[in-house]
Amino acid sequence: MSDLSSFAITRKWPARHPERLQLYSLPTPNGVKVSIALEELGLPYEAHRVSFDSQDQFSPEFLSLNPNNKIPAILDPQGPGGVPLALWESGAILVYLAEKPQAQALQLLPADAALRYETLQWLMFQMGGVGPMMGQLGFFHKFAGKDYEDKRPRDRYAAETRRLLGVLNQRLSGRRWLMGDAYTIADIAVFPWINNLLNFYGAGELVGIAEFPEVARVLQAFLDRPAVQRGLQQPGLA
């Protein structure tokens, strides 16, 4: 039996199954990246809801795991060398999960060095561009920003989102996934944000999604995956 009692976060969110990977998250685009990867890889995990309504992310227990007070974060009782590992930042977590020995069968991160770095390139594209830009667009289009009389901030992020969609549309032309036939952590990183842009932020018309048919095609293929559907539901979090 794994002992996680030395990690302060388990005092606020006790581990019912301490032998399983512990996920601290919410069903946001960044949060579901990790639950989708876990479902795709078939890795046992226990999900804990970090409620923004009660500001759980600022609690001493959560900050003991992630000083940056953001979800998702994980605590893996079977880290490298069998030593528990705490990890945060969704991109880092995706790489870590894809490299776990139990995950090698699915190959969410190619073993070939050149393809591996190309996959990481698209992962960083999401982290540095897709997520931040679409998140800001969501604020100005759906949330408080929609009440601002000055629409220049919204239009700035809408224009940059359209540019990013154009990059993705070109990349996906003639490809099944971002890396061709191989489904990878790059897809798991990018498409929750596209899904959120259209189905939560309701910004499809604003960004002219009809101009990006390849993005829409691959998004639907992504959403059709059973593991994606399970991961989007975030067991224990919704």
Q: What is the mean pLDDT of residues 2-30?
A: 93
What pLDDT was estimated at residue 203? 96
Distance of alpha carbon 238 from alpha carbon 235, whole angstroms: 7
pLDDT band at 102 (very low <50, low <70, confident <90, very high): confident
- Tokens describing residue 55: 């500001």
Average model confidence (pLDDT) across the chain: 94
136-192 per-position pLDDT tens digit: 999 999 998 888 889 999 999 999 999 999 999 999 999 999 999 999 999 999 999
What pLDDT was estimated at residue 128? 97
- Tokens describing residue 214: 């390849």
Q: What DSSP string describes 168-222? A: HHHHHTT-SBTBBTB--HHHHHHHHHHHHHHHTS--HHHHTGGG-HHHHHHHHHH
30-86 per-position pLDDT tens digit: 999 999 999 999 999 999 999 888 888 999 999 999 999 999 999 999 999 999 999
pLDDT at 238 over 60: no
Torsional class of 107: left (φ above 0), alpha (ψ -120 to 50), beta (otherwise): left
Task: Please report, rounded to a whole number, the percentage of residues in the chain having pLDDT higher than 70.
Answer: 96
HSE of 229, CA atoms in CB hemisphere, 13 A? 6
More confident call, 78 vs 235 = 78
Q: What is the mean pLDDT of residues 216-231?
A: 97
What pLDDT was estimated at residue 121? 98
Residues 113-227, CATH architecture:
Up-down Bundle (1.20)
What pLDDT was estimated at residue 105? 58
Domain ranges across the chain: 9-106, 113-227
Q: How would you list the strands of the sheet with 85-88, edge to edge?
A: 45-49, 21-25, 73-76, 85-88
What pLDDT was estimated at residue 234? 73
* CATH superfamily ID and name for 9-106: Glutaredoxin (3.40.30.10)
In the block, residue with structure tokens 């959403």: 223
pLDDT band at 104 (very low <50, low <70, confident <90, very high): low
Task: Please report, rounded to a whole number, the percentage of residues in the chain having pLDDT higher than 90.
Answer: 86
Q: Which residues face 73 on adjacent strands?
A: 24, 88
What pLDDT was estimated at residue 1? 53
Secondary structure (3-state) at 137: helix
